[in-house]
Amino acid sequence: MSTTGTNGMPRRSFITTMAVGGVGASLAAAGSARAAGITPGDAAILRFVAAIEQVEWDLWQQYAELVNNNPAFNKAMTSIDPDMAAYVQQNTNDEFSHQAFLNDYLISLNLEPVDLDPFRNLPSSPATGAEQVGRLTNLMNLNVDTSWYFRYRSSGNPDFGNSFGQVVKIVNRPSIPLRDNYTANQILAIANTAVLHFSTVEQGGTSLYPELSLKATSLEVLRVLAGIGSSEAWHFAIWDDDAGNLPAVNSGDGLVFPPPPQANKVFPTPCTFISPTLPRCAVARPTNPALNGPKAVVKFFTQMNLFSGQVSGFFTTLNQLAAAAEAAQRQI
Ligand SMILES: [Fe+2]
Ligand SMILES: [Fe+2]
How far does residue 306's CA lie from ligand 1's centre (Å)? 16
Local confidence band at 332 (pLDDT 50, 70, 90 cut-offs): confident
How far does residue 90's CA lie from ligand 2's centre (Å)? 10
270-307 confidence digits (pLDDT tens): 999 999 999 999 999 999 888 999 999 999 999 999 99
Angle between helices 84-108 and 219-243 (to 10 degrees): 170
How far does residue 237's CA lie from ligand 2's centre (Å)? 11
Instruction: Kindly give, in sequence order, each residue whose CB lies less than 8 Å from that of residue 82, ignoring residues fewer than 6 positions away.
Output: none
How far does residue 195's CA lie from ligand 2's centre (Å)? 13
How far does residue 279's CA lie from ligand 1's centre (Å)? 31
How far does residue 20's CA lie from ligand 2's centre (Å)? 33
User: Which tops the pLDDT comparison, 167 or 29?
Assistant: 167
How far does residue 277's CA lie from ligand 1's centre (Å)? 34
Local confidence band at 12 (pLDDT 50, 70, 90 cut-offs): very low
Backbone angles phi, psi at 57, to 5 degrees: -60, -40
pLDDT at 43 over 50: yes
pLDDT at 329 over 90: yes
The pLDDT assigned to 15 comes to 46
- Residues 254-261 have a mean pLDDT of 97
The pLDDT assigned to 289 comes to 84
The pLDDT assigned to 196 comes to 98
How far does residue 232's CA lie from ligand 1's centre (Å)? 6
How far does residue 292's CA lie from ligand 1's centre (Å)? 15
- In Å, what is the CA distance from 103 to each residue of 46, 107, 113, 288? 8, 6, 5, 26
How high is the mean pLDDT of the chain? 92
How far does residue 23's CA lie from ligand 2's centre (Å)? 30
Q: Among the bound ligands, name the one nearest to the CA of residue 102.
A: 1
How far does residue 253's CA lie from ligand 2's centre (Å)? 31
The pLDDT assigned to 267 comes to 96
Q: List the end-to-end C-alpha distance of the chain, in Å, as a whole number.
A: 44
How far does residue 62's CA lie from ligand 1's centre (Å)? 15
How far does residue 232's CA lie from ligand 2's centre (Å)? 4
104-155 confidence digits (pLDDT tens): 999 999 999 999 999 999 999 999 999 999 999 999 999 999 999 999 999 9
| CA 294 – CA 48 distance, rounded (Å) | 8
Q: Among the bound ligands, name the one nearest to the CA of residue 55.
A: 1
Lowest mean pLDDT among 1-10, 110-119, 206-215, 315-324: 1-10
Local confidence band at 6 (pLDDT 50, 70, 90 cut-offs): very low
Q: Among the bound ligands, name the one nearest to the CA of residue 49.
A: 1
Local confidence band at 18 (pLDDT 50, 70, 90 cut-offs): very low
How far does residue 93's CA lie from ligand 1's centre (Å)? 9
230-253 confidence digits (pLDDT tens): 999 999 999 999 999 999 999 999
- Residues 90-108 have a mean pLDDT of 98
How far does residue 24's CA lie from ligand 2's centre (Å)? 29
The pLDDT assigned to 21 comes to 37
How far does residue 168's CA lie from ligand 2's centre (Å)? 22
How far does residue 234's CA lie from ligand 1's centre (Å)? 10
Q: Among the bound ligands, name the one nearest to the CA of residue 238.
A: 2
pLDDT at 320 over 80: yes
- Residues 307-328 have a mean pLDDT of 98
Sign of CA dihedral 79, 85, 91, 92: positive
The pLDDT assigned to 14 comes to 42
CB atoms within 10 A of CB 179: 12
The pLDDT assigned to 28 comes to 55
Judged on CB neighbours under 10 Å (0-12, 13-18, 19+), 129 is buried
The pLDDT assigned to 30 comes to 57
How far does residue 326's CA lie from ligand 1's centre (Å)? 19
- In Å, what is the CA distance from 272 to each residue of 218, 278, 281, 296? 29, 8, 6, 22
| CA 274 – CA 268 distance, rounded (Å) | 16
pLDDT at 20 over 70: no
How far does residue 41's CA lie from ligand 2's centre (Å)? 23
Judged on CB neighbours under 10 Å (0-12, 13-18, 19+), 12 is middle
How far does residue 261's CA lie from ligand 1's centre (Å)? 28
pLDDT at 16 over 90: no
The pLDDT assigned to 290 comes to 85
| CA 197 – CA 85 distance, rounded (Å) | 16
pTM (two decimals): 0.91
